[in-house]
Amino acid sequence: MKTQRQLWMLTGLMALFTALRWPELLPWNFSPVYAIFLCAGVFFKDRRMWLMPVGLMLVSDLVINALYYEPRGYSVFGGYLLLNYALLLVLVGLGRKLTARAQPATLIASGMLGGIAFFAVTNAVSWSTDPGYPKTLTGLMQAFTVGKPGFPPTWLFFRNSAVSGALFTGVIVLVMRIAQRPAKDERKFELT
């Protein structure tokens, strides 16, 4: 992170995006989380790269689970949360391998691929653990395309994961590029 201004802009954007996770604000699985974790690895170069996204996600999970899911009778915590966090931390690692100097298209494609990878792993785990899916190749295809009856088809989750990963990463990258501009302009006026 080069300037305090950039730090605050990134932190504020991540907090705003985290607030968008509230159910019913965005379509199913249209999530800023992939971008938050990836960009934390790209733009933070210290322990904030994992503390910031995990902290934001944990607080939002606690609030959403307590106020939205628990009153509807859903289990608010389970082993799936540990898997989700582990997968998201892999995105921090990917972001760390990339740099803030990477081309915007590379970062946006990485955000899209992060969303797709998250979808693929979580759906494979769902297929292997959910008794509603036959443990056959047909059941696996069902898990990746139409899902279980009574729920939206999983291809929508795939599409939303890919699009949201790219879109939210693009917004963060754009904001960070804009935040860098004034610092460059100020150097023009420095006396040498």
CA distances for 17 relative to 21, 36, 67, 133, angstroms = 7, 8, 19, 33
| Mean pLDDT within 21-31 | 83
pLDDT digits (tens, 9 = 90+) for 135-187: 999 999 999 999 999 888 999 999 999 999 999 999 999 999 888 776 555 55
Over residues 82-90, the mean pLDDT reads: 91
Q: pLDDT digits over 89-140, tens only?
A: 999 999 999 987 889 999 999 999 999 999 999 999 999 999 999 999 999 9
DSSP code string of 45-109: -STHHHHHHHHHHHHHHHHHIIIIIGGGT-----HHHHHHHHHHHHHHHHHHHS-TTS-HHHHHH
Q: What is the reported pLDDT for 2?
A: 61
Q: How far is 68 from 36, CA to CA, in rounded Å?
A: 22
* HSE toward the beta carbon, residue 80, CA cutoff 13 A: 16
Of 44, 46, 37, 176, the closest CA to residue 113 belongs to 37
Reported as a pLDDT band with limits 50, 70 and 90, residue 1 is very low
